Homo-oligomer: A and B are copies of this chain.
Amino acid sequence: MAIILYDLVGIDDRRFSSNCWRTRLAIAHKGLDCETVPTRFTEIDQIGDGTFKTIPVIDNNGDYVVDSWSIAEYLDDKYPERPPILGGSDGNQHARFVQEWAVTRISQFLFTMIVEDIHAHLTPEDQEWFYNSRSKRLGRDITGVQVGRESRLVELRQRLEPMRSVVRNTPYLGGELPTYADYVAFSPFIWARTVSSLALLEKDDPIYSWFQRILNLYDGLARKNPGYDW
């Protein structure tokens, strides 16, 4: 039976969640079948026994697992005969560092550049909830937060320098083949691409080529997701 993934969704079937994309690519990396259940923010409390607060959540034949990192560990434990997602101690620590970097230095900064775009691509049921919760997180109304984002884009591209240096020399952060480090680094980009016309990358940036490679993985899994083709 396929693994069921509860996957955050906006309008037009847009799957924009960076956290859910990590899991979707991890499942594909394992070569496992996946069925997604499009889920709105305001529907998360209807998953399983109703205790879940965040997604991704997977249901693997009755095993419910929440949190993208825990899911990656679960899949490696459950299917040790398939290609490792995390790759043992070294690969685990590699992915963990890249994840913390991507979250604290990239996604949190990028948030102010796309939060109104996310809002614009949510269903009406989710928009009010999202507006209120994100305004609270920011300490101000999200309306107008994106103003000046072109100058923040310069800073964002500077922050990306460590991964630029790596993918200039190897096709993936993982080396010759992608690993979970690549999926966590990819996740802010697919998040933005799904909802925003703002091109984060210039075409001559080595990260752009890397991004295209990940979009093409697994029969173009991420490329098929509705989004802005930058």
Contact = CB atoms under 8 A, between A and B. Distances in A.
Nearest to A104: B161
Contacts of A175: 89-90, 92-93
Contact of A161 (B100, B163, B170): B100
Contacts of A93: 94, 166, 170, 173-175, 179, 181
Chain A residues touching B, range:
20 to 34
Interface in A37-76: none
B162 A101 contact: yes
A165 B181 CA distance: 16
Nearest to A98: B97
Given A87-B90, A88-B90, A179-B90, A105 B174 contact: no
A159 interface: yes
A166 B106 CA distance: 16
Interface in A89-113: 89-94, 96-98, 100-101, 103-105
Contacts of A166: 93, 96-97, 100
A98 B98 CA distance: 9
A100 B174 contact: no
Nearest to A87: B90
Contacts of A88: 90
A105 B166 CA distance: 14
Given A90-B91, A94-B94, A104 B174 contact: no
A207 to B, nearest CB: 12
A88 B94 CA distance: 12
Given A97-B98, A103-B165, A105-B162, 18 more contacts: A87-B90, A89-B175, A90-B90, A90-B94, A93-B175, A93-B181, A94-B94, A94-B181, A96-B166, A96-B170, A97-B97, A97-B163, A97-B173, A100-B161, A100-B165, A101-B101, A104-B161, A105-B159
Interface of A: 87-94, 96-98, 100-101, 103-105, 159, 161-163, 165-166, 169-170, 173-176, 179, 181
